[in-house]
Chain A
Amino acid sequence: MNFYKIWLRNISVFFLICSSFVSFAVVAQVDTFQFDKAENQERFRNLSNELRCPMCQNTSLSGSSGGVAEDLRREIYLMIKEGQTDREIKDFMFERYGDFIFYKPRLTVGTIFLWVGPAFFLLIGGCVGFSVFRSAQSLTLKNKTLTDSDQNKIESLLTREEQNLKIKGKTS
């Protein structure tokens, strides 16, 4: 019984340590700046997740320890403190780093394909799929409903075959 209690305590301490590592790792880059309002903290977190680190290219500002990323996080922090809106902060970044800074690029002539492309391909796929479905359906329908002349042909063929069989039966 005693052994079981010690074991339980050890295992819970172990998991507690593990979970604390996990949470530290996740918020390490982002939470170096403190805000008085939780709402601003949230905005800061969202912005630094939505904006891409220019130097390292495949990480967000929040996930990068690169020099520029650090500076840009500080800039976002200062701008939020100054009372600037998300829109203003994004415009500031766009003027300096262009479309590249956004993970979600803005809708412009240059980026329209990124936005419309998937819908376009879905549409093409849908059209092809639909036409394949239609032609398959019309094929099966044709088989089921025969025209009168076809029906007559079949019947005449069948009766001829029957007669042939009868003749064969008589001769043998």
Chain B
Amino acid sequence: MLGYEMLKRLLPISAFFSFIAALAVGLFLENKDLPSVLVGKQVPSFSLKTIDGSLVTNNDLPGEIFLLNVWGSYCLPCLIEHPTFMSLTERGEIPVVGINYRDELNLADDWLKENGDPFLFSIADPSGRFGIDLGVYGAPETYLVDAEGIIRYRHVSVLNDSVWREVFLPLVKSLRTPKIALVGM
């Protein structure tokens, strides 16, 4: 029997412990998983040179769902995720646009020659200024952008095959389906 008096005693104690539990959960939350403010917004407007020296703007972005990958020749995790992008573009699964972030042009060029170039083109951002507009923390980061140029998802750190399969692929599929449905109608 749980009398009123007993409830009166238990209530503050249970409130206290649930508060402690909430704090404990908060303590172990992964800060890196913070969603980007840019999700749901257009890719910031840009008019920049690629590392090959040609001028590109938002109009040069693919008119379909694509990946925007922030990379640098100095960045070791970028080298680790590189094979994933290579195989994605080899299989023609999704176009990948690169942002060469805070790097030197000749080093970036050498890096692509050595490891292969999966990118449609790589926007040169030596000062990191375009990175600020995108809310970039640091390389590597990968944004999923839809056909209208709206950012749908941001992934911080390495995008390997399993991240692609488990995180990106379901998103890509769900973004692609409504379009097909519309065409069918």
Binding site for B on A (CB under 8 A): 54-55, 57, 66-68, 70-72, 74-75, 94-98, 100, 128
Contacts and interface: CB of A to CB of B under 8 A. Distances in A.
Interface string B1-42: 000000000001000000000000000000100101110000
Contact of B138 (A68, A74, A96, A98): A68
A23 B128 CA distance: 30
B131 interface: yes
A68 B137 contact: yes
Contact of A67 (B129, B134, B135, B138): B138
B37 A68 contact: no
Interface in B109-144: 127-129, 131-138
A55 B138 contact: yes
A67 B75 CA distance: 12
Main secondary structure on A side of the interface with B = helix
A71 B59 CA distance: 27
20 contacts: A54-B135, A54-B137, A55-B137, A57-B31, A67-B138, A68-B128, A68-B137, A70-B128, A71-B102, A71-B127, A71-B128, A71-B129, A75-B129, A75-B132, A94-B37, A95-B37, A96-B38, A96-B134, A98-B37, A98-B135
A34 B38 CA distance: 32
A98 B35 CA distance: 9
A71 B27 CA distance: 29
A94 B138 CA distance: 17
A66 B138 contact: yes
A96 B34 contact: no
